[in-house]
Structure 1
């Protein structure tokens, strides 16, 4: 593997393992077994876009917790820098950062998760977000450019959608929210397609049917 090689985790495969120093002590992936985990990276402490994102995650932390989901931040900064930045956010914005932040000075975690993108930066993590399920499986990955902040509300929506799909074996349409109709998986055989219209769903065509949970 060359120095410029970038590795990436894979969807529906075990998330890369880690043990790292954080603002809440040592944390490992195993600590989150039985819960969802949103692991997200930011380019640097004391930067304006990252500050808005951390405020966004912090103000929605209770919503994530209600969905059995923990939050874990990361950047290639020291624990002392993370602590100072979190205290600055509390002093200047009145927002307490309730979740741990990984200090990844060696870039070991960042590299294993593909957070280092040579096209953007060789020394800072891009805005990457990873959804890891209670079994330690990577379920979703979202990458943003350095210049633009993420939508934390979209991450809440995505988590709710994935949990609903897991629980009910359905899919969800574009911009789906809890309480809205869901998509019934399309039939896999000609025989099933022929009777789909009579199965009591909201029928549009054999491949597109919805229902309300």
Structure 2
């Protein structure tokens, strides 16, 4: 039996990260050196976000928006970490250019995923192929490294720092 609007191919539910799962311990090179995610989180709420590559206008809007709200994330004791499929050197150069151009520091690390292994873990490859467009995800992790919320946007829709702050604020005040 088929239904109108049914996806062409169903996702393997076992391969998807879901709310309630422990986020995998990732190790990668990034804009601030080597990072091991579980050690870096150290019991904090964390927003782990992805963007397809450096030098995209959507990623620029997002990074600047997140940087402008860093004091609010800090007040919630929430860390930010990004992931790009660009190499670490390209990402560092881009971050430096953005900081100089806009007079705004990008204080959070962006890790590199040149080989796509993190994108695979996050379910980005399958989505990108199915939609034929890049997809950006935000994972909100609790202090116990469990995923509390997931946001997905198709490129070129930028994510909102205000919305991420709202979600983290609710999770923290509810002690979820």
Shorter-chain TM band: 0.7 to 0.9
Normalised TM-score (structure 1) = 0.71
* Cα distance per residue 1:93-126 (max 9 Å; x no partner): 111110100110011111111122212358x5x2
Helix, strand or coil: the match of 2:175?
Answer: helix
**Unaligned regions of 5+ residues in structure 1, if any?**
168-213
**Unaligned regions of 5+ residues in structure 2, if any?**
1-10
| Structure-2 residue corresponding to 1:120 | 131
Larger radius of gyration: 1
CA–CA separation in structure 2 for the residues paired with 1:109 and 1:119: 18
**Aligned pair count?**
162
**Candidates 8, 15, 23, aligned match of 2:16:** 8
| Structure-1 residue corresponding to 2:65 | 56
Query: Measured at CA, do residues 102 and 121 of structure 1 come closer, stay the same or move farther in structure 2, by a change above 3 Å?
Result: farther
Q: Which has the higher contact order (CA 8 A, sep 6+)?
A: 2
| Structure-2 residue corresponding to 1:27 | 35
- TM-superposed CA distance for 1:5, in Å, is 6.8
CA RMSD of aligned residues (A): 1.8
| Structure-1 residue corresponding to 2:7 | none
The answer as to whether partners of 1:29 and 1:136 remain within 8 angstroms in 2 is: no
| Structure-1 residue corresponding to 2:167 | 158
| Structure-2 residue corresponding to 1:39 | 48
Matched, 1:142 2:124: no
CA–CA separation in structure 1 for the residues paired with 2:145 and 2:114: 24
Aligned structure 1 segments of 4 or more residues deviating by more than 6 angstroms = none
Alignment of 1:202-213 (within 5 A): none
